[in-house]
Structure 1
Amino acid sequence: MREAAGPWAAPASTDAKRVWGPWAEGLDVPRDLDLGNRPRALEQLRVQPAAHSQMLAMVREVLPEREAGLLIGSRQWPCSPPACSRAGSATAPAPSPNT
């Protein structure tokens, strides 16, 4: 659960408000998040350049070119690497010995 902002805290940006929710659960979303400035947004979300490059390559490998372009070009893209990284680090069930 997100802590209440102090009475002197700056109001949350529109981007920060749009990102808060299930997609951003567990992420430290800065109140001044600016998804219009991709390099700054990646820095604000603490996405390392190497991890971002790896995620770009993975998306381009898995999705058709058009869909990959739409996803990567979306305003919310900077939130994708941390969210996917978080999902990928979840404990996966052990494979069944019968397979």
Structure 2
Amino acid sequence: MVKGTQDPAGKVLLALLAQAQHDPDTAERFQKRYLGPRREQERDMLARGIGAGEFSPRLGPDATIDALVGPIVYCALTGSGISRDLVDTLVEDLLRPPSKKP
């Protein structure tokens, strides 16, 4: 299993997500200070990987990020384990370059 809710940083992240659901000020600050900048970093990493030919997502940048991160966050929120197989499958299915046909 991949670390998730057992990691202290993961527990803090889950607590912030929970609090943001009930407190608009927390939600706004969390978006501005963490989620927004984090998404920009993820979008930049994705663009660099595409530019380097390392992978070729089948979806646009934002949809790719959502499709990769969503299932992992869901597992963390529900307390279920995040298996290496899940992560490997998400990456393989969402980022694998299309096979080159002769």
Give TM-score scaled by structure 1 length: 0.31
Higher relative contact order (CA 8 A, sep 6+): 2
User: More helix per residue: 1 or 2?
Assistant: 2
Give TM-score scaled by structure 2 length: 0.31
